[in-house]
Every structure is written in C-alpha cells, then in structure tokens.
Structure 1
Amino acid sequence: MKSKQYEFSNDADMEMKAKNCSIFFLIYDYENFIVSKEELNFPLAYTILTHKDAVQTEKLLRAIYRPHNIYCIHVDKSSSTSLHNAMKAIASCFPNVFIVSKVEDVIYASFSRLQADLNCMTDLLQTREVPWKYMINLPSQEYPLKTNAEIVKILKLFHGKSSIEVLSAENWRHRFQGSHQVIGYEVEPSNKKKDPPPSGITIAKGSVYGIFSRSFVNYSINDVNAQEILKWLEDTYSPDEFFWATLARNSHLNVPGVFYNGMKSTKFWIAVTVSWEVERKCHGKYVHLICVFGIGDLNKLVSEKTLFANKFYHNYQPLALQCLEEWHFNKTFSQVPFDSYYYRNLLNQ
C-alpha cells in the first residue's frame, strides 16, 4: 500500500504488469496493512467510476483496498480499449474486485452517469460473499483522507444512517421542470414541459457522491416509489444531483437509512471535499470549475472532516498526490487514538 514511484506510464503498461498478478502484488504491496477485528466485522462496498487513466484508478483502489471489502469498477463504454483491458487485468487479480456487469456510455449531465452507479449497486446487492454495511461511490480522481479503520469507526457512529447532501433545488428548477435530451454528447433542453414529480415529492439537490447504508441502496434499486422518481428524472439535466437528495429530503417516503434533517444543515454530509472555482481556494488548477489539488492544498486537506477529496491528477503536481499517499499510508499504522467527537455530534445538529 505504500506510495511508490511511477512504474507505469500508461494503460498498456498497467495491463502488462497486472496480467501477472504476482508481479503486480510485488510492485504495489497490496498486503501491507493492518486490519482490526472491528474492520473485519464492518465490511464496506465501493463503486469506482473511471473513464481514463488506469494509473490514477489503481492508486485509488490501492488506498482503499482491504480483502474483506468489495469493489465494483465501472469503465465508460466509450473509453479506450487499453483502459478496459487494464482494469479487467487488475480486477482479475482480486476475488473481491470486479468489473460491473453492464457498462454505460457515460455522458456528462445525462442519466447515464447515475445509471452507471445504479448498475454497480445492483451487482453489489446480488453479491453474497461480502455482507457489506455501507456503500461509497467514487470517481477515480478522488483520494481518501481517512483510513479504512477511521471510516469504519465513523460509520459505526451513524447507526445505519446515510450521509447524503440535501440542498434546496429552487435555483435549479430549470434543470428538471422541462424535458432534456441527449444530442451527440451534450444534454440539451427541449420545449416539452414535464409533469409534476410523482409521489407528492419535493425535488432536492445534492452531491452526486454520498455514503449509503445497505438499506438505502436496496430501497434505491428495488422500491416502487424510488423507481417512479428515477423514471421521472431520466430526462432532466444531471439527475444524479437530484436522485439521492430527493430520496433523503422526503420523509413521507419512509426511506430507510436516512437522517431527515430537512435542509437545516449539510454538516452530516461528509463524503467528499471539493473546492469550486467560485471559492477561489485552489493551489492547483481548475478543470470544469473544480480544483485539481496541488501541493499547496495539502495542509488544509489533511485537517478536513470529510472521508475523501476530489480531485487529483497523478501527473499534475505529482508531489501533491505522492505526499498524500505517504501520509495516508503512515496513518494506517498510527497508534494515535482516533478523535470521534466531531462525528458523534453530527446527529444532534
């Protein structure tokens, strides 16, 4: 698990090494970690969505990997053959890492982005080997700020509640009041006005990323109301920013694993730290309005309460990710007691 120099320069190199699992494990040391009894009794599930760069994706997998957890990887259908082959080779080296059974051609702001996560969720629910408690969905550019042991300690305090961002959608009504359609690789509005949302729900907005209890995932995939909401959102703009938040916003749906705090506070959402361009707090560079963190961002990131940070590029200011890798690796073996005060008090806010 320890940070390494960049043995792999591209997807093809990654595939070549991963085809020999013994060499792959030797290079990347996937067995160098400590797993407590508490962690073994609290397995986690992850989805990782990637569309480029097997090197970056492997770095994330290595940081969060534990043999008792389970990992579903979605590679965009339109991604390069070399990326698909590299990720298949990596997954084949592990009994608890697999490629999603149905891949989507993910188009930004379209339903396909949400469907990719739902496909992995469906597969994870059908997996009997790992009785996972929570599922966390990640893009490949994220990196953990907490160790597996810390994540488990935090989530045990939540007592089955999911961590989902819930915000007012009032300023985003143009994204879901009218129908949208995919034209080429863009999502464009049409002239068709949508019917009111089903089940008497109030649409809410939130992050694409969350920390979902198993009961919440099961509801999202299998409940009739959830499927009606999902169907209604299919032709909206960025339905992935509305689906989870809407389920968590409407208490009359009785969604399990939800902390109904209305929209009084977003502190219970601790999935990921993101620095948007409007905040002007980036020491790296902005790509699509989001900061790609640089070395100057690390001092603040290591004190964040969130579980992950988005985003990093391993080949941009590489010392940033290398230093974070080393810090995270060293924390895995730290004997310093974990301070749970902040997380214990979240449910009371």
Structure 2
Amino acid sequence: MGMYACFERPPTMNRKRKLMKSLLKLVFLIVVVVFFNHMKAENESIERHDASVSILKTKKVLKNNIRVLIGRNLNPMPKLLVNEVNCQGIIEGDEWHISYASKIQNRVGFKFLTDREMGKLAKNCDVFLKTFEYNRFTVSQEELDFPIAYSLIVYKDAVQIEMLLRAIYRPHNAYCIHVDKSSNPNILDAMKAIANCLPNVFIASKLEDVIYEGYSRLQADINCMTDLLHYADVKWKYVINLPAQEYPLKTNAEIVKILKILNGTCSIESIYDEVLHKRTNEIYFVNPWSLKVQGTGLHKRPPPYSVVVGKGSAYGAFSRKFVDFAVNDMKAREILKWTEDTFSPDETFWATLAMNKHLGTPGIKYTASGMPDQRVWISTSITWDFSKPKPKCHGRYVRNVCVFGLGDLHRLVSEKKLFANKFHYAYQPFTLMCMEEWIFNKSVTYSYTDLDYYRDLMND
C-alpha cells in the first residue's frame, strides 16, 4: 500500500488539476474557433478579389449549361499541373532532364484518343468537361473587359485541336472552328460535340474544301471572320486566326495586356518582294486530279486600285475595325475577288491590305517611309529551314517548318511572339505536354512577361 500511496495526489491538487485541464480545453476551443473564422473571412476576401471571376459575373457571360461548371471552380489558385517528367527543367534547358524525357517517350507507347473516341466522349458534356478540366482557369476583370475572338482552321487530329482550344479557352471569348470539308467525318462530329458543350464555341456556318496554297484556305478564314462579326454574344476586340498545330506562348491575360498596348494596331506581316510576283502575275487553278494548285502560264491582269501586292503570313492578330474592313469594304472585297486565281492568296490578301496606305486600311502602323512597321509582327513564331540566321531545330522539318522538340522549349518560352508554329502531339509527346503545363501554371499564378518590349513597339 505504501508504495502506491506515495503516488496518490491530495484531493485539493486533483481538483486544481481538473480545473486547469478545463481551462486549457476552453482556451484551445477559443483558439480553434478564432482561427477558422479568420480563415473563412480570408477565403471570402480572396473570392471577392478581382483576380477571379465572381459567380454573378460569370452568369452574365455564360449560358445556363456552363454556369454551374464555372461557378463551383472559382478557386483563386487551382492546383498546378504536373507531368511525369521535370518540365521546368526541360524548359530551363537542362540537358539531363531533356535526355531523360527523350528516353522515356521513346520507350513508352503513348495512347491518344482517336477522333471517333473524342467525339464519343464529348457527346456527354459533363464527362468531357470533367475529363479535360475546363474549370481550371481564373479570369481577371481586365480579361472580361477585353474579349478576344479566335478563328481555328482545322483538318485532322481532334486531340491536338482540343489541346489548343483548352489552352486559349475562356468563357467570355468567342471561338469559330472551320472544319475542312474533306477531313474525316469523325473530326466534324467531334468538333460539333465539343462546340455543343461550350456555349461560346461554334462551327463556321459555311465550310470549305480547303486546298493547300489555294483560295479556299483564305475563304475559310473569311467565313469564320464573317460569322464572328455577326456573333452578338461577345463584343470581341481582336481576332486571332490559328491552325491546330500552333500553341500559345502567352497566357490569355498576357495577350490581353499586349493587345491593349497595341490599341487597335494589327499584327500583320507584310513585305514587298519582286521575286514573289510570279504568285500573282500568273493565273493559277486547282488541278482536279492532283488537288494541287498549279500555274497556267497565262498572264493575270493587274490588281485593282493600283495596289502593290504584299507578301506575308496567313496568320495574324486583327483588330475588329480591320476585320470589318476586310470583309465588308468594297475595295477590300474587290481585292479579295482578284486573289481567287493567284497562288497562296492567304499569304497575300492580308499583307496587301496592310501594304497600301492609300486604301485607308484601319489598324496598320506605318514607318516614315510609308511601309508597314515590321516591329509589330508579334503574332506567330515560326522556325523556317531557310531562315537566316537559322535557329537550331531540335525536332524535325516538315515543309521547311520546324516541328518543335523538347530542346526547343527553352528558346520558345523567351520569345516575344504570342504563338508558336508548329507542334505535333504525337511527335516527342512531352514537348506539347510540357508547353501545356507551362502555360497553364503561368495563367494560374498570374506570371506576366515584361511589357516594356511591347510598349517600345508602339513608340515612334
């Protein structure tokens, strides 16, 4: 007994100990309640922050079938996207990570959805939107106030089309998809199904049988731009036209900031080169057997309004005023008609409208010599096989254009251009996957590029 008795505490001490325990529990509960109330208030404050779209504002922008989707995912900091390889190391140019990723992608058999499977998946919008996480974005008030329209000219690979669309998609923008009439029917079915799930995405009202280097390629863009001008749901500021093989180098927020600096100025490549005059001095036609554009040897009449024919890219960033001019102005329409039997008119029409100051084309910045200012050609980065100086292509050349590989990412992410052409989802697959990770993580962390470069472009 004595041994146990030595461990017994007096009754008074036991009461004091119980009282102390009760006080400690009470203090702990008070601390917990205060902490959670503070966290709740902080979260409510974050949700009210301008960096994310409020449910009320989202409901004003979106149709009913997407309101719930966006409304429940207004997390100010969505979970970052992470791939199986170290994309950050690859983008930083680390040779070990590039080599490691190359070995993995050469050993692993990547399986991508077929066009048919993509269409079948998108038939169920809930499954499609959840599978591809169309809720993983935040939108600032600045972006809401500056909607952008996109014209996508597509032919194949529903997987890659969807990857591009998801990268540029925001619920307040507008997206016209032109599907080549000669493409596999599964592509059109997939695009229609996807458009049905996203209320601000639609298929062009008129589809063309697009022939490479033929007029139909330009007409496809004109069709989408005409539809976008009539699209009343979104009062967009610019149209950017893209092929499926391009991918953004800037987030939507960055593109908005850059286009606001341009302030209505277009980014249209336009040069004068006598060597290329054969494209428009001769009459061309589409050979019905080969489906290729070829010359007739017949001399073509000069263009209307004494215009100098320019040469440039088929792709650009076009202000709303420019698009309205290109589609509806009488002079522009006559020039467009004149290009129908020329070679690759998509590379001359926009450039010619920009080249000739006397046409009164809106949105063109000219130098003192009266030529379009080359500094504002910031739409697309492309690595040609014949470029001088020629950047190294770590992928492969197709039709003289570099299809980017893993080793190209370090250079691309430092580019000042808005988009890069071209990628292919099945060639060195981690290349496009790492670009997807990089652009998404930049968008959710609101990481911005230095805007001084673009401000300098607009200084005379």
Instruction: Name the TM tier (shorter chain).
Output: over 0.9
Instruction: Identify the residue that residue 275 of structure 1 maps to in structure 2.
Output: 383
CA contact (8 A) 1:44 1:133 kept: yes
RMSD of aligned C-alpha atoms? Answer: 1.6
- Identify the residue that residue 103 of structure 2 maps to in structure 1: none
The 1-side partners of 2:450 and 2:407 are apart by: 25
| CA displacement at 1:177 relative to structure 2 | 0.4
1:19 is the counterpart of 2:123: yes
1:29-44, aligned counterparts within 5 Å?
Answer: 29-44=133-148
Match of 2:337 in 1: 231
TM-score (norm 2): 0.74
1:307 aligns with 2:418: yes
User: Could you report, residue by residue, the CA deviation over 1:222-259 in whole angstroms, capped at 9, with x for unpaired residues?
Assistant: 00000111111110000111100110111111111221
Q: Match for residue 66 of structure 2?
A: none
CA shift for structure 1 position 336: 4.0
The yes-or-no answer on 1:346 pairing with 2:451 is: no
Contact 2:270–2:372 (Cα < 8 Å) also in 1: no
Counterpart of 2:197 in 1: which secondary structure?
coil
Amino acid across the alignment from 2:158 = A
What is the one-letter code of the residue matched to 1:297?
A: D
Q: Which amino acid aligns with 1:347?
A: M
The CA distance in 2 between the partners of 1:80 and 1:127, in whole Å, is 27
In 1: Cα distance, 2:231 partner to 2:176 partner: 11
Q: 2:427 aligns with which of 316, 335, 344?
A: 316
Is contact 2:308-2:356 (8 Å) kept? Answer: yes
Task: Judging by fraction of residues, say which structure has more strand.
Answer: 1
Shift of 1:31: 1.3
Q: Partners of 1:42 and 1:208 in 2: how far apart?
A: 24
* Match runs of 1:187-202 below 5 Å: 187-202=293-308
- The 3-state SS of whatever aligns with 1:167 is coil
Answer yes or no: is the 8 Å Cα contact 1:4–1:28 preserved in 2.
no
What is the rounded CA distance, in whole Å, between the counterparts of 1:62 and 1:182 in structure 2? 35
| Distance in 1 (alpha carbons) for counterparts of 2:345 and 2:168 | 27
Superposition deviation, residue 89 in structure 1: 0.7
* Structure 1 segments unaligned to the other structure (5+ residues): none
Find 1:292's aligned residue among 365, 389, 403.
403
1:329 aligned to which of 440, 451, 454: 440
Please identify the structure whose Cα radius of gyration is greater: 2
Distance 1:335 1:241 in 2: 35
Contact 1:8/1:14, CA 8 A, preserved across alignment: no
TM (norm. structure 1) is 0.97
Matches within 5 A, 1:82-161: 82-161=186-265
The total of aligned residue pairs comes to: 349
Output one character per residue of 1:120-163: Cα deviation in whole Å (capped at 9) or x when no partner.
Answer: 00000001110000000000000000000000000000111111
Q: Retained in 1: the 8 A contact 2:273–2:311?
A: yes
User: Which residue matches 2:366?
Assistant: 260
Preserved CA contact (<8 Å) 1:114 1:240: yes
- Aligned partners of 1:54 and 1:83 also within 8 Å: yes
Query: Are 1:3 and 1:322, in contact at CA under 8 Å, matched by a contact in 2?
Result: no
| Change beyond 3 A, Cα 1:44–1:15 | same
Alpha-carbon distance in 2 for matches of 1:306, 1:119: 26
2:187 maps to a residue whose letter is L
Alignment check: 8 A CA contact 1:168 1:263 kept: no
2:365·2:372 contact (CA, 8 Å) conserved in 1?
no
CA–CA distance in 2 between the matches of 1:170 and 1:204? 10
Q: How far has the Cα of 1:265 moved from its partner?
A: 4.7
Instruction: State the shift of 1:169 in Å.
Output: 2.9
Q: Which amino acid aligns with 2:167?
A: A
The answer to whether the 8 Å contact 2:164/2:247 transfers is: yes
Superposed displacement of residue 98, structure 1: 0.3
Cα separation, partners in 2 of 1:228 and 1:3, compared to 1, 3 Å: farther
Matched residue, 1:179 = 283
- Point out where structure 2 has 5 or more consecutive residues left out of the alignment: 1-77, 85-109
Deviates more, 1:165-174 or 1:210-219: 165-174
- 1:46 maps to which of 121, 132, 150: 150
C-alpha displacement of 1:9 = 2.1
Partner amino acid for 1:303? S
CA contact (8 A) 1:147 1:328 kept: yes
Note the C-alpha offset of 1:95.
0.8
